[in-house]
Amino acid sequence: MPDAYLYTKPRIRFCGDRAIIVEYGEGIDRTVNEKVRAMAAMLRKSLPRGVEAIIPAYRSLSLLYNPLMVSTDQIAKAIEAAEKNLRQTEIAEPRIVEIPVCYGGEFGPDLEIVADHNSLDAGEVIAVHTSVDYHIYMIGFAPGFCYLGGLDRRLHTPRRKTPRTLLPAGSVGIAESQTGMYPQDSPGGWQIIGRTPLRLFAPWREEPFLYRAGDRIRFVSVTEEQFHRVYEKEWG
Amino acid sequence: MMELFLVRVPGLYTTVQDAGRFGYLDRGVPPSGALDTFAYRMANLLVGNPAGSAVLEIAMTGPVLEVLAEADIALTGAEMGMTLSGEAAAGWRAHRVRRGDVLRIPKAVKGCRAYLSVTGGIEVPLVMGSRSTLVRAKLGGLEGRILKKGDVISRGKGVLLSTPRRLPGHWIPEYGPDITLRAIPGPQDDYFTRAMESFFNSSYEVSVETDRMGYRLKGPPIFRDEGRPESIVTEPTMPGNVQVPADGQPIIVLVEQTTGGYMKIATVITPDIPRVAQAMPRNRIRFEKVTLDEAHVLFRIEAGRMREIEEHLSSKN
């Protein structure tokens, strides 16, 4: 049996008296996560009565429900029906969200460390990091924090031995086989290679976040001057 | 909007909370909100506020508040020995306060968290659908933080009561050092087939590491079945989940966590989460097993009881 695969039939777990978890497969896998994304999109189109929230994760969907309005049997049936309709329904392609990043210098103090660790030069690190679209498997841990997949092996780098006490919002970093962004100021041990001038989490904005699970993140390298221009607009 | 309190002493961890922030659970924003949902709802009912109004959640040691305007107030949840301008002022009932009064809420003698409601609700901006404070993300409440000395707290528009309301004694919960929580096995009960029985037969001590994110417990370690990995693929957590890290010491997840990679052996039923909110360090917790169907019956009973209390209190005005 491989480490990651799609189940032939989803598995339902009961998570207390007002949530169920529907698992679509094993492990961390793009095919499994695509299924989760498609099911989330289907169910959001016509939310089963009594279901209050749908939370997609790596390989599962969590559904929050009001037990006064709906039974778990009814939810299970709604999920089954949605899955049947999946074949005839067009699910929108994942959105690609471009994130401008100013790499190196004061914004990316660890760019050289990542380069040295992988016997590359700084320019090559930037070229590799911007060469792929990263799949958002899920969002969690902190507001807007993405679990991204797809970091090139040539950039894998261990965490810093001593975490920094304050990373500014927008910091872009690498930790082992993961890459990611810090939506808010936060302490952290990731190797920071750059920073985006965008506000990844703006509570007052009509849409506080720029992306949702299932979207793709495309990092685009920008100059310091471009960074400051966008930064002024976003944070000024 | 009306300036109501000047904070002379903020208390240990006093925050603005409401029913919670539920629109962004899929973006890493935890529900937040009042931990003891029962005491929270009672506090609003006692001053005639609409459900969902914001209150102050007061943990362990309370504030000293100078009153700047007239309002009705009520303190529910933990017994804190409140005084109003030097006179004892009982919990679970409304009191009229006026400019110049001083409200002192010393410290919890029974229970852990109290809820202070005011006519019109605590007025802070609505952020992403809620007034609840999430300190870690500097979100909601009063500038996203706990209260501090010198803060001025405002209240919203509301009508003063014509007769003071009080909650009849038989509806007021008792807070003792021995707490039983009803819990449904799962979602990862299949990882603990061997440990399940001992989990439901053991008692656990509440550690000092307790906050709105979770309650760490100490007791006989819970071991996963042989051959099971020590973590699962990260998935959303729900308030009430009893997660079991590799050291076997359980943690009850509360309202400020969104995801996790630990297995959950059981989940505390919704009507019993207020009991967790009132547990103090060194209290003892036992878990009592219920099935999902039983839990849903209990959920309905609790909803019925809430309706009954609501009708009783609102008929008094």
Encode pLDDT of A188-215 as tens digits.
999 999 999 999 999 999 999 999 999 9
pLDDT category at B82 given cuts 50, 70, 90 is: very high
The reply to whether residue A208 touches residue B188, judged by beta carbons under 8 angstroms, is no
The reply to whether residue A15 touches residue B299, judged by beta carbons under 8 angstroms, is no
pLDDT category at B314 given cuts 50, 70, 90 is: confident
Q: Are residues A143 and A230 in the same domain?
A: yes
Q: What percent of chain A has pLDDT over 70?
A: 99
A91 within domain boundaries: no
- Work out the average pLDDT over B40-45: 98
Nearest chain A residue to B138 by CA distance is: A184
ipTM: 0.95
Q: Which one of A52, A86, A120 terminates a domain?
A: A86
A44 within domain boundaries: yes
Q: Are residues A53 and A145 in the same domain?
A: no
Q: Are residues A194 and A111 in the same domain?
A: yes
A14: chain B residues, CB-CB within 8 Å: 184, 186-187, 292
Q: Are residues A54 and A160 in the same domain?
A: no
Q: Are residues A128 and A211 in the same domain?
A: yes
Encode pLDDT of B293-306 as tens digits.
999 999 999 999 99
A139/chain B closest Cα distance in angstroms: 5
In this structure, what CATH number is given to the domain that contains residue A46? 3.30.1360.40
Q: Which one of A62, A86, A110 terminates a domain?
A: A86
pLDDT of residue A93: 87
- Work out the average pLDDT over A112-123: 98
- Work out the average pLDDT over B8-19: 98
Q: Are residues A126 and A180 in the same domain?
A: yes
Position A32 pLDDT exceeds 70? yes
Q: Are residues A100 and A82 in the same domain?
A: no
The reply to whether residue B128 touches residue A18, judged by beta carbons under 8 angstroms, is no
pLDDT category at B317 given cuts 50, 70, 90 is: low
Q: Which two tokens stand for residue B151?
A: 């803060």
Q: What is the number of structural domains in chain A?
A: 2
Please report the residues numbered 56 through 115 in chain A whose beta carbons come closer than 8 angstroms to any beta carbon of chain B: 56-60, 62, 64, 67-68, 71-72
Q: What percent of chain B has pLDDT over 90?
A: 97
Q: Are residues A194 and A229 in the same domain?
A: yes
A36 within domain boundaries: yes
A12 within domain boundaries: yes
Q: Are residues A115 and A166 in the same domain?
A: yes
Nearest to A203 among B127, B238, B295 (CB): B127
Options 3.40.50.300, 1.20.120.430, 2.40.240.10, 2.40.100.10; CATH for B178-301 is 2.40.100.10
Q: Are residues A116 and A225 in the same domain?
A: yes
pLDDT of residue B225: 96
Domain ranges of chain B: 2-171, 178-301
Nearest chain B residue to A19 by CA distance is: B238
Q: Per residue in A3-29, is it b (16+ CB within 10 Å) or e — as a string?
A: ebeeeeebebbbbbbbbbbbbbbbebb
- Work out the average pLDDT over A66-70: 98
pLDDT of residue B176: 96
Nearest to A151 by CA among A114, A185, A186: A114
Domain of A9, in residue numbers: 5-86
Position A2 pLDDT exceeds 80? no
A208 within domain boundaries: yes
Q: Which one of A56, A86, A116 terminates a domain?
A: A86
Q: How far is CA B288 from the centre of its chain?
A: 21
In this structure, what CATH number is given to the domain that contains residue A205? 2.40.100.10
A113/chain B closest Cα distance in angstroms: 29
Q: Are residues A133 and A227 in the same domain?
A: yes
A21: chain B residues, CB-CB within 8 Å: 187, 235-236
Give one DSSP letter per residue of chain A, joined into a string: --SSEEEEEEEEEE-TTSEEEEEEEESS-HHHHHHHHHHHHHHHHTPPTTEEEEEE-SSEEEEEE-TTT--HHHHHHHHHHHHHHHTTSPPPPPPEEEEEEEESTTT-TTHHHHHHHTT--HHHHHHHHTSSPEEEEEE-SSTT-EEEE---GGG-BPPPSS-EEEE-TTEEEEEBTEEEE-SS-EEE-SEEEEE--S-SB-TTSSS-BS--TT-EEEEEE--HHHHHHHHHHHH-
Q: Are residues A149 and A211 in the same domain?
A: yes
